[in-house]
Amino acid sequence: MHRDLKPSNILVRKSDNKVFIIDFNVARKHDPEKETMKSNTGIVQFSAPEMFTSEPYTNKVDIWSAGIILYMMLGGMQPFINDNL
């Protein structure tokens, strides 16, 4: 799990339009039999809600972040704008 997907962690090489994901500082391999992920990492605007409930979460948090990024690419704004976590 990357756990910190955001636009600044996605690079595109112009010469061949190849996409690179960078900044794996908080990335972890998810093994449901050994451990559960509970820590809240990353930026709130791109993090899945379950990351802030102290409940275990899965690699689906990265799908949430990718959806937020796609929404911003298509709509030009964030889907959720609020100061309240």
Query: pLDDT grade, residue 14 (50/70/90)?
Result: very high
Query: What does the block give as tokens for 46?
Result: 């791109």
**pTM, full prediction:** 0.83
Query: pLDDT grade, residue 12 (50/70/90)?
Result: very high
Q: Are strands 18-21 and 10-13 parallel, antiparallel or unpaired?
A: antiparallel
Cβ of 37: how many Cβ atoms within 10 Å?
19
Beta-carbon contacts of residue 79 (< 8 Å; ≥ 6 apart): 68, 71, 72
**Domains of the chain with bracketed CATH:** 1-25+40-85 (1.10.510.10)
Would residue 31 show up in a list of annotated catalytic residues for this protein?
A: no
Beta-carbon contacts of residue 80 (< 8 Å; ≥ 6 apart): 45
**H/E element, 72:** helix 60-75
Maximum separation of any 2 CA atoms in the chain, in Å: 43
Output the average pLDDT for the chain.
87
- Give pLDDT tens digits for 28-47: 887 767 667 888 788 888 98
